[in-house]
Homo-oligomer: A and B are copies of this chain.
Amino acid sequence: MPDAGSRRDLAEIMAERRALVDAALDGRLPPADEPPLTIHQAMRYSVFAGGKRLRPMLALFGCEAVGGTLEDAMPAAVALEMIHTYSLVHDDLPAMDDDDFRRGRPTCHKVYGEAVAILAGDALLTQAFRVLADPIATGVPAARRLQIVAEIATAAGSLGMVGGQTMDIQAEGETLEPATLLTLHAKKTGALLRASLRAGGLAGGADDAAMACLTGYGERLGLAFQIVDDILDIEGSSAEMGKATGSDARKHKATYPAVFGLEAARRDAARLLAEAREAVRPLGDGGVVLVALADFVERRRS
């Protein structure tokens, strides 16, 4: 692992990993000319829509931080991005958040229609587990791979991400108690980000102590990432975010700045990122890139 303490190094590492993840995603999605064409084109349209690949990055970094290889964590990285993408496709539907654009492009249902968008989301979620169970040669023992399936399914399901989205839909237009908002964020975005680190750790053969470091880091980074996202929605320019900003407020979405105030949001994000860096200190050199990633989130402007 090269020294990733400087911003430039991290940006280079992230670009390199992103290319590897994109190639792996391409290899693990059915080809666009495989019938039925529409479903496969819709899946690819949404997966290759310019995402940051944060979850794959966390899985790869988490795995390397405990001594595993990129190859060990790649199935989890690919699966996590497929699950994240499916959640966006379904969240954008008219019956849910009703968004016409994401990352500057028309959303899946605007291009392919609602029925195909629902099915494309379903297929991406299903394919994620297909990838995790892939019988290709892997250095990760089968029992560990089942643990990764359980970890990711728990985080993505009704006690995690889907539960958080349910709360979010039901909370629209309501003023949330601070504790309720924290639960919503922990489920809706926190659970899968936490699971990304943990899946990487499991793939890399982490012991309990190392898993605890990655878990502590993942929980704090996850919440900080959400807070920064909410702040950018208020402050960011439309061009940078690729979607209309201020959209949370227009939809009366419950956000961290709305509940706690903008200054508290900034302060809490900085504190959480400091705690995240502290959490991976016991990993030594392995954790350097995770520290750099926390810096990156802190400086994020889009």
Q: Which residue numbers of A lie inside 8 Å of B, CB to CB? A: 30, 34-36, 38-40, 43, 86, 90, 93, 95-96, 113-116, 118-119, 121-123, 125-127, 129-130, 132-135, 141-143, 145-147, 149-150, 153-154, 156-159, 162-163, 165-167, 169-170
Contacts and interface: CB of A to CB of B under 8 A. Distances in A.
A95 B95 CA distance: 10
Identical copies in the complex: 2
Contacts of A170: 36, 38
Between A86, A113, A122, A145, the greatest number of chain B beta carbons within 10 A of the residue's beta carbon is seen for A122
A163 B126 CA distance: 12
Contacts of A163: 35-36, 39, 123
B118 A130 contact: no
Contacts of A135: 146-147, 150
Between A90, A130, A146, A150, the greatest number of chain B beta carbons within 10 A of the residue's beta carbon is seen for A130
B95 A166 contact: no
Given A149-B149, A166-B116, A158 B125 contact: no
Given A36-B163, A43-B158, A116-B166, 9 more contacts: A95-B113, A118-B118, A119-B169, A122-B125, A126-B156, A126-B158, A127-B157, A142-B143, A142-B145
- Please classify the interface of chain A as helix (H, G, I), strand (E, B), loop, or mixed, using the class held by over half of its residues: helix
A90 B115 CA distance: 9
A93 B118 contact: yes
A219 to B, nearest CB: 19
Contacts of A167: 36
B126 A114 contact: no
A146 B154 CA distance: 17
Contact of A123 (B35, B130, B146, B157): B157
A199 to B, nearest CB: 12
A115 B95 contact: yes
B158 A40 contact: yes
18 contacts: A30-B158, A39-B162, A43-B158, A86-B122, A96-B115, A96-B118, A116-B166, A116-B169, A118-B118, A121-B122, A122-B162, A126-B153, A126-B156, A126-B157, A126-B158, A133-B153, A146-B146, A149-B149
A123 B169 CA distance: 15
B133 A147 contact: yes
A166 B36 contact: yes
Contacts of A93: 118
Contact of A169 (B40, B115, B142): B115
A154 B125 contact: no
A133 B144 CA distance: 10
Given A130-B154, A142-B141, A153-B130, A125 B123 contact: no
A183 to B, nearest CB: 8
A134 B129 CA distance: 14
